[in-house]
Amino acid sequence: MTQNIYDDPDFHAAYMRLPRSVSGLEGAPEWPSLRTMLPRLDGARVLDVGCGLGWFSRWARENGAASVLGLDISKRMLDGARAATDDTAITYARADLEDVALPEGAFDLAYSSLALHYIAGLDGLLAALARALVPGGMLVASVEHPVFTAPATPGWLTDAAGAPAWGLNGYLDEGRREVDWLGTRVVKQHRTVAGWLAALRRAGFNLARLEEWAPSLAQLEKHPEWVNHRQIPNFLLFAATRA
């Protein structure tokens, strides 16, 4: 079973103060990039995998989706998502993404924001998503980038020229990592870029787009405190089509 940090009261309280919790999609700096990977949503049946507070679920409905099913393991997050809408075409359901039962060929788009890197049984989930999509349906997702998840002791070091450099090691060794985030010990799963792409292929997805996201130079001007994050890819964004 996936670790359910979002129902830990302290973690949840800290998470609720993040810009992406307060402001939703507009508070997530990778959203403008991820958004360009989405297909047209008019009439689409959408699956929101790890929906959290439901920001994307509501946005999808506002942008033409016929219906949305949002799945999350956290009761607190689902309570927040449900409280934020009275749209009857959005359904929220509690689910462990390691072991989720979905109707076959029932969705046109599966979307997942920063959730899949928590999933140890990725092959099972991707296979379930492929079955749940119609042929030609799309999976659009963001995950923490492998150079970010790789190190057992992540952190910024200083290179021989005195510049900040991310300490990269452990890259080839895929699997479980434990890191401190918002005062909580968080379990995540490291995979290489090639590992992510191979998992998509095994599940019957064809890669359509790949982006290694970092703040743009325009975003850096507004947020000079993100300067280190411009030095490495922060997130891996991808769009893939179910064969």
Minimum gap (Å) between residue 226 Cβ and its own copies: 12
* DSSP secondary structure code for residue 48 in this structure: E
The partner residues of 158 in beta bridges, in order of sequence, read 164
Query: Which residue number, 136 or 167, has a Cβ lying nearer to its own copies?
Result: 167
Draw the binding track, 144-183, toward its own copies (x: CB under 8 A; -: no contact): ---x---xxx-x-xxxxx-xxxxxxxxxx-----------
Which residues are within 8 A (CB) of 10 and not within 5 positions of it... i.e. 6 or more apart? 183, 184
Q: Does 199 bind its own copies (CB under 8 A)?
A: no
Query: Which residue number, 23 or 206, has a Cβ lying nearer to its own copies?
Result: 206
Query: Which residue number, 87 or 174, has a Cβ lying nearer to its own copies?
Result: 174
- Nearest Cα neighbor of 190 from 118, 97, 98, 121 is 118
For its own copies, how many residues bind (rule: CB under 8 A)?
34
3-state secondary structure of 116: helix
Residues numbered 200 to 219 that lie near its own copies (CB under 8 A) are 207, 210-212, 214
Angle (CA) 22-227-168 rounded to 5° is: 100
Torsion sign across C-alpha atoms 198, 34, 235, 133: negative
Query: Which residue number, 114 or 171, has a Cβ lying nearer to its own copies?
Result: 171
* DSSP secondary structure code for residue 226 in this structure: G
Torsion sign across C-alpha atoms 135, 140, 143, 147: positive
Minimum gap (Å) between residue 2 Cβ and its own copies: 26
Query: Which residue number, 120 or 197, has a Cβ lying nearer to its own copies?
Result: 197
Residue ranges in contact with its own copies by CB under 8 A: 147, 151-153, 155, 157-161, 163-172, 192-194, 197-198, 207, 210-212, 214, 230-233
